[in-house]
């Protein structure tokens, strides 16, 4: 508990020092690494998995993500160099697994998230609240690059017919209190510092470049698609699935 108090003291001090530096915005580049390992007993299945894993590793090397932010909002999107475009079926699956066709906009003042995403052949802007991220701050630190980061985790319920522990996914974040912007990859935000690393299942998103700016960067809100809530999108998906 004492260490968590120190986190907030550190954040408060760094925020004041940071404010004196007058940084108004910034940009982060994240790389993604697929961390899964084969555990198939069947040699044929193991070979198939290893082949897929090698393709995913090659694909992940071509992908990076950009987070742009200022004091009131952020935008997270992909930088994609498709070297595997010839393998169309694999490319589509890889895009789904890495969410490389989604855009995430966070409004810090309104505590809202807008996710721009394709769904059943259409584009949607899915609006939700960022307040459902009930982070647990953990007494653990590690150095990532030149940043001392603190650990946090959040457990969220999965959609679908899952039961018990399988019904939840635990996300692990490492955030840096000395960079007091409350943003991170995808929809993950609201920590007392910038998220430098995020683990989602077998994928690790890690900041490879952080640039802070004294001038305010303009963040453009995504506008491609129909504005809906999560519940409305689920209803649309259910009807589309039934019609098919």
pLDDT in tens, 100-142: 679 999 999 999 999 999 888 889 999 999 877 889 999 999 9
Query: Looking at the chain, how many residues does it have?
Result: 244
Reported in sequence order, the residue ranges of 35-159 that DSSP labels E, i.e. its strands, are 63-70, 73-80, 103-107, 112-119, 122-129, 136-144, 147-157
Band of pLDDT at residue 90, cut at 50, 70 and 90: low
CB 214 within 8 A of CB 226: no
Average pLDDT of the chain to the nearest whole number: 81
Kindly report, residue by residue over 16-68, the tens digit of the pLDDT. Answer: 445 446 799 999 999 988 765 544 344 445 555 566 666 666 666 677 899 99
Domain hosting 59: range is 2-243
What is the tally of structural domains in the chain? 1
Average pLDDT rounded to a whole number, residues 169-194: 95
Its pTM stands at 0.79
DSSP assignment letter at 185: S
Q: Could you tell me what percent of the chain has a pLDDT over 90?
A: 49
Which comes out higher in pLDDT, residue 83 or 189? Answer: 189
């Amino acid at each position: 508990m004492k260490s968590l108090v120190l986190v907030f003291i550190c954040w408060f001090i760094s925020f004041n020092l940071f404010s004196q530096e007058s940084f108004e915005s910034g940009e982060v580049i994240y790389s993604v690494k697929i961390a899964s390992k084969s555990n198939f007993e069947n040699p044929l299945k193991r070979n198939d998995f290893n082949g897929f894993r090698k393709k995913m590793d090659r694909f992940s090397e071509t992908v990076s993500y950009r987070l742009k932010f200022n004091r009131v909002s952020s935008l997270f999107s992909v930088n994609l160099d498709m070297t595997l475009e010839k393998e169309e079926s694999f490319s589509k699956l890889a895009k789904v697994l890495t969410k490389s066709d989604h855009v995430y906009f966070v409004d810090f003042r309104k505590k809202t998230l807008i996710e721009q995403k394709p769904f059943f052949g259409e584009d949607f802007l899915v609006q939700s609240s960022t307040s459902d991220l009930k982070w647990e701050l953990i007494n653990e630190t590690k150095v990532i690059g030149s940043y001392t980061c603190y650990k946090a985790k959040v457990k969220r319920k999965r959609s679908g017919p899952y039961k018990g522990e399988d019904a939840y996914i635990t996300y692990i974040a490492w955030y840096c209190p000395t960079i007091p912007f409350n943003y991170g990859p995808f929809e993950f935000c609201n920590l007392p510092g910038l998220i430098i690393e995020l683990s989602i299942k077998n994928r690790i998103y890690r900041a490879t470049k952080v640039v802070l700016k004294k001038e305010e960067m303009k963040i453009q809100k995504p506008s491609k698609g129909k504005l809906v809530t999560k519940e409305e999108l689920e209803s649309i998906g259910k009807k589309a699935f039934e019609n098919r």
